[in-house]
Amino acid sequence: MSGAVTTGADIRIEGLCKTFGEGRRAAKVLRNVSLTVPAGSIACVVGQSGCGKSTFLRVLAGLETTYDGSVLLGKQPLHGPGLDRGVVFQEHRLLPWLTVEQNVAFALKGLSRYETRRCVMRCLKRVGLGSCARQYPYLLSGGMAQRVAIARALVNQPKILLLDEPFGALDALTKLQMQQEILALWEQEKTTLVLVTHDIDEAVFLADRIVVMAPGGAQTVKETIDVALPRPRDRNAAAFIALRKEILSFLFDQEKKLRRKA
C-alpha cells in the first residue's frame, strides 16, 4: 500500500443505535457504536453470534435505514443503498439461470454492450475467472462461486466493499486461499473493506483495524485494535498468536464476568 493512490472512502460512525420493534417488544441490537474506518483500509468486525455484527453491516449497506446516530461515508450522510458500496454475503447468491458473465453484469445499468462486457471481464480477470465467463454457476466450486460474487460486488467500482462472513461456508484450504485473494484484490483496487467474521485468525491476518463487539448482549464495541503486523503475515509468528490471544480474552473474559453477575 505504500505510495498507492487510495480510491476508497472513509467511514465515520458516531453513537449508532438500532432497535427492532416497539414498546415492550422492542429489542436493541446496536448500542452507542462509534467507529472510524480510514479510507483504503481493512476493518474486521468480530464477535459472538447475536452481538450485532450483521446488523451493523446492513446499516452500512443501507439495508437498515431507521436508526439513531450518525453514519458518514466520506463526507456524505448515509441514505440507503448506493453504488458506492458493494456487498458480498456468506452465500454467493448467484442466479443459476444466468452465466457467470451475466451474473456479474446484472448490477450494471446504462452502459453499452461493449462497455458492459469490458467492465465485467475486467472484474472476472481480477478474481482469476476470465476463462469462466460463459459457464453457469452449477459448474463452479464454492470458492469459484464466491469469487464471482466478489467480482459482481466490484463491477461498479465501489469505494467501500462490505463482506458478511464471505468465506464461512468454504472448506479450510479454500478459505485460506480466498483470504490471500481478497488481499491481492484490495491491493489492486484500494477499496475500503469492512469484513464481518467469527474467525479470529482471519481478522488478524487481514485487518488494519479489528473491531471487537462486546459479548453477552451488550451490542456495542468493546475494543478497537489497530494491527501493526507487517504484511505478508505469518500465522505462526509470536506477535500474530499474541494478538489472537488478546482478542479472545476480550471476548471470553467479559462473558465470564457476565455469568458471575448472573
Query: Which CA distances in Å does 25 have to 41, 53, 56, 69, 192?
Result: 38, 21, 20, 21, 36
- Pairing state between β 85-88 and 160-164: parallel
Q: Are 92 and 149 in contact (CB under 8 A)?
A: yes
Q: Are strands 85-88 and 42-46 parallel, antiparallel or unpaired?
A: unpaired
Residue written as cell 449497506?
Answer: 61
**74-85 per-position pLDDT tens digit:** 989 998 899 899
Q: Consecutive sets of 10 residues in the chain, 262 residues long: mean pLDDT of each?
A: 58 93 80 94 91 91 92 91 90 93 89 92 91 95 92 92 90 90 89 94 97 77 93 95 93 58 45
Is residue 162 a contact partner of residue 60, using CB atoms and an 8 Å limit?
yes
Q: What is the pLDDT of residue 169?
A: 80
Q: Which domains does the chain have, with CATH numbers?
A: 1-12+20-84+159-262 (3.40.50.300), 95-157 (no CATH)
Paired sense of beta strands 42-46 and 192-197, if any: parallel
What pLDDT sits at residue 260?
46
pLDDT at residue number 95: 95
Q: What is the pLDDT of residues 193-202, one digit of tens each?
A: 999 999 999 9
Residue 6: exposed, middle, or buried by beta-carbon count in 10 A (0-12, 13-18, 19+)?
Answer: middle
Q: How far apart are CA 212 and CA 99, in angstroms?
A: 39
Cα 175 to Cα 187: distance, rounded to the nearest angstrom: 19
Residue 23: per-residue pLDDT: 75
25/10 Cα distance (integer angstroms): 35
* pLDDT at res. 254: 54
pTM, full prediction: 0.88
**CA atoms of 43 and 209, how far apart (whole Å):** 5
